[in-house]
Structure 1
Amino acid sequence: MNRAATKAMPAPPPRSWSGWLMALALAALVAASFATLPLKWRDFASADAVRSMAEFLGGFAPPELGTNFLLKTANATLETLAMSALGTLLAVAAGLALALPGAGRFGRPARALVRVALNVLRSVPELVWASILMIAAGLGPFAGTMALAVHTAGVLGRLFADALENAAPHPEQSLRANGAAPMAAFFYATLPQTLPQMLSYTLYRWENNIRAAAILGVVGAGGLGQMLKYHLSLFQMEAAATVIVAMLLLVALVDAVSFATRRALTR
């Protein structure tokens, strides 16, 4: 390479130290976490701790396999599945309604207000929402379903709004320039771009809501979680083992269905 060609080459970009500084900050945070938390690794791995855990886990075997109890567990499994599915469906509807103003389609003040509301909805855990809603609705799956819907609406609303903001604006602008109505241009140009991503977000949140629905039963929201709390409180470990196995099978089934659906959407 001659000298003239060397002079024509552009100068290398300036080195950015932001990535290194971020990595050092994260490393310092991890080190500070280990230094400040009272982690008792020696007590956790002691002979007494291992023996106690082995005795506790041994109480779960064998699981309860009585016909009546299996039927009761199956009904609770269906109830947990219905809670998660209905809660996710309601959250999708609310998330879409909030995503439009959250993406800035109704002005900056509306965007800021909706973003704050979405932050509040998803910052409050499902257990807290269930405890609040039980005051109005009482014990049972209704409060749990609404708790999942409220929390998930905050999550999906934020994700949907970000997807809409990141969509390419040119197709919708072209339709608007040719006389299409604003909503028609949105449904024909922007929504088809973001729909696969929104469906992927919805399926992922459904997987999470299966686990959350099982946990919500601990506070009396019905389903497998309520059964698990009841039998553990009475130290009926064999029955609790059956409920835990049902939870694992339900989560595995939903994960497999969600994975297959996402694979089909991305082909």
Structure 2
Amino acid sequence: MSSRRPPAANQVYRLPPPLFDARCRACWMVAGLLALVVASFWSLDLQWGKFLSIDALRHMGRFLAELLAPSTDARFLARLLPAMLETLAMSVVGTLLAAVFGLLLALPAARTHTGDPARWRGASRLLLNALRSVPELMWAALLLVAAGLGPLAGTLALALHTTGVLGRLFAEGLENAPEGPGFALRLRGVGEGRVLLYATLPQVLPQLVSYTLYRWENNIRAAAVLGVVGAGGLGQLLAFHLGLFQMAETSSVLAAMLVLVLGVDAASYFARRVMSR
């Protein structure tokens, strides 16, 4: 016997909304975005004929074939391992510095409860926007003038750019935290510092750590790119050997980057699994 209840006599059934309604703001927004995408394709000089020509495909195939034969020279591999460790160290130190300073800037940039005046919110968010709007390569070029060639400039460039990114993400996480626990502590006369430590941060800490791990993965790739401008690590080897068209050594550097990214991705995955238990 079926357990489904019969419909009520006065129940009103509504038809599904139309796919496009003149009063639907979301529909107009989607239409505008599609128009921008079409205009972007139209404005770019995309020469698909040359890209997919037989001659271009033959050159790309020869280039890929040369990359599939990495160098196994012992002397070169002895230089490759320290460069890998240098790139890893740059990403770790840069991400840790960014997490610390990003949290310090996120606190004044967030309105954590309804009655929070957040006097420094605008200035803090403006600083965070300025930090992340400048690419890592530009920060590295500026810092190379003061710090010279080497991993210090690359590490600081990663830290400055990532501070802007993590600071904004941390501020959004703090603002979206439920106000209930903090409100209960404020009713009992607890100060804002203790409310932050015992109510707000414990709720958003897994989210903040997840953001930090994700940026660490990105900074591995960015640290490798920064070496192109002389910031050390794998990027410096990549720029050197690629500039000399030494494809076997270039292939080994790319393989080392792949191994490093996969290792960091696996470490981040297991760290998230541990935090979710």
Judged with a 3 Å threshold, the aligned counterparts in structure 2 of structure 1 residues 135 and 174 are, in CA distance, closer, same or farther, namely same
Letter in 1 for 2:65: G
> More displaced, 77-86 or 45-54?
45-54
From 137, 142, 164, give the equivalent of 1:132: 142
Q: Which residue of 1 aligns with 2:252?
A: 242
TM-score for the superposition, normalised by structure 1: 0.93
Residue 117, structure 1, aligned to residue 124, structure 2: no
Deviation at 1:61, TM superposition (A): 4.2
Matched residues in 2 for 1:198 and 1:12: separation?
Answer: 43
Q: Which residue of 2 aligns with 1:47?
A: 54
Letter in 2 for 1:44: F
Letter in 2 for 1:187: L
Structure 1 runs, 4 residues or longer, greater than 4 Å off: 9-16
* Amino-acid identity (%): 54
Deviation at 1:58, TM superposition (A): 2.6
**Contact 1:101–1:107, Cα closer than 8 Å, also in 2:** no
Deviation at 1:10, TM superposition (A): 10
Letter in 1 for 2:86: E
Q: Which residue of 2 aligns with 1:188?
A: 198
- Which consecutive unaligned segments of at least 5 residues does structure 1 have? none
- Give a deviation string over 1:16-41, Cα, whole Å, max 9, x none: 61221121111111111111111011
Matched residues in 2 for 1:227 and 1:84: separation?
Answer: 17
Deviation at 1:81, TM superposition (A): 0.3
**Contact 2:110–2:118, Cα closer than 8 Å, also in 1:** no
Matched residue SS, 1:104: coil
Matched residues in 2 for 1:163 and 1:173: separation?
Answer: 17
Letter in 2 for 1:75: P
Q: Which residue of 1 aligns with 2:3?
A: none
Deviation at 1:87, TM superposition (A): 0.1
Residue 60, structure 1, aligned to residue 45, structure 2: no
Deviation at 1:243, TM superposition (A): 0.5
Matches within 5 A, 1:143-154: 143-154=153-164
Matched residues in 1 for 2:271 and 2:211: separation?
Answer: 12
Matched residues in 1 for 2:173 and 2:13: separation?
Answer: 36
Q: Which residue of 2 aligns with 1:103?
A: 110
Q: Which residue of 2 aligns with 1:215?
A: 225
Deviation at 1:262, TM superposition (A): 1.6
Deviation at 1:133, TM superposition (A): 0.6
Q: Which residue of 1 aligns with 2:4?
A: none
Q: Which residue of 1 aligns with 2:91?
A: 84
- Which consecutive unaligned segments of at least 5 residues does structure 2 have? 1-6
- Give a deviation string over 1:119-154, Cα, whole Å, max 9, x none: 000010000000001111001000000000000000
Matched residues in 2 for 1:144 and 1:107: separation?
Answer: 37
Matched residue SS, 2:240: helix
Name the count of aligned residue pairs.
264
Q: Which residue of 2 aligns with 1:25?
A: 32
